[in-house]
Amino acid sequence: MYTYQAFQADAELLYNHLLMLRKQESPGEVVQHFYHLFIARSGYPKSRLSSALDRIVTSSWSEREFSHILNRCCYILINYWWLQSEFKSEFKQATLNLVQLFQGEVSRSHDPLSKLIAQFAHTSQYEALRRRAWAADDDTIVEPRFDRSHIGPLIHRYPFLYSYYLLDEDTSDLGQEAVRRLQAQKENQFEANLLSYAHQLFVTPLSTAHNPTLLSAHHLQAAIVQFVGIESLHPEATDLHLASQISQAPSYGVVKQQIQDYLIESIYQSHNPRYGNHHFNDWLREQLKNTMPQFDHVKPDSRLIEQTCTQLIESLIASPAQINNHLMFIDLNSNLGATLTIGLVLKIALLCRSVKTSFIGAKSRIARQFATIFRHYETSVRADLGWLIECLDTFMVAFTILFWARRNRSLGRPHS
């Protein structure tokens, strides 16, 4: 009699085989073995494994648990490849090839395994694997007429989203570490590419560095100038002055008024200074008015300021479920452009740094909001998402400049 304990033992047999195989074979060979074992069902030399797989798929637990088994088999390989000291192109290609095994016609037959694998290709688990594959993609060259309505495959360009886009509550510690490593690698590569391109724009025009974003050369140049300006002002002028005002404010209500004036002034200094008078200024006043009004007469502290910045970020980069705030964000982009919109977001984030709380924490909150928007438009909407792509690219540029300058300043290097 085939017991549940035997079922689990057969699953462990598959796991242990893949654990061994990933160390003994090249990534490309491992994908081929995986194909022959699970998809083609032919030409696999390990008859013991084939028998174990047959028992699993014909058992009474297969409908409930096979997708979990197959999912774990995939991550046994993917996490191992991603955690190698050098995440080479062969590991990235193997990730893509492994996930793509489930996209085609699995089999013409209607045997139990083919049916279960076809079902797996329609699960949220497989969607998460597809996101991993998109993130592993190294294709930085995009056709001029790329599909602006299908945003999912562009996720590899935005590593700051990975922690919220690729991970969920069920992700293992190993999987979290694998994603963190890929994020760090891609952010470092983007920084190097951006600095090379900026050097070409402003110092050596004959250089052959490529534009690392999907922004036009003109838009990228304007964004670099804008965010270098914001960063250079921070230690000496505007934000420091505001931080001093905040620290001396008699009450939290006064602080909210100071923040409101500070952000509205940014609109007045834009190329469309009247925009705020239409709706945005009133919207901003309402957001701040409704932010923790019970503390309006209390002397503010850094925790209160940080909570205010968090709520402002969440209101401005709102989830599409918060339809009115989300439409305000889209309208802001349409009228002022991504560079000024992201500049406004970063000024809120810099307030956290002004009161000596975590700027990296503010970045994480911004990333979480954008990841929610990204997932919504990836699955729910097919429209021109150029505005969102511009925002994501602009934020990548902005944060790279600010973080690079911050890091160099802490190391005592000259700011340039």
Of the pLDDT bands very low, low, confident and very high (cuts 50, 70, 90), residue 228 is: confident
**CA angle, 296 then 299 then 305, to 5°:** 75
pLDDT of residue 289: 94
Contact by Cβ (8 Å): 137, 153: yes
- Of 369, 357, 272, 384, the closest CA to residue 311 belongs to 369
Instruction: Give the global pTM.
Output: 0.88
Quick check: 66 and 57 in contact, CB under 8 A?
yes
Q: What is the pLDDT of residues 283-305, one digit of tens each?
A: 999 999 999 999 999 998 888 88
Is pLDDT larger for residue 111 or for residue 81? 81
Range with the largest mean pLDDT of 14-23, 85-94, 130-139, 352-361: 14-23
pLDDT reported for residue 348: 87
CA 314 to each of CA 122, 291, 309, 412: distance values in angstroms, whole numbers, following the listed order: 32, 12, 9, 34
Distance (Å, whole) CA 311 – CA 309: 5
- Return the pLDDT at 246: 75
pLDDT tens for 15-73 read 999 999 999 999 999 999 999 999 887 767 778 898 999 999 999 999 999 999 999 99
Amino acid at 80: Y
b/e sequence 111-135, b meaning 16+ C-beta within 10 Å: ebbbbbbeebbeeebbebbbbbbbb
Task: Judge whether 140 and 197 are in contact, CB under 8 Å.
Answer: no
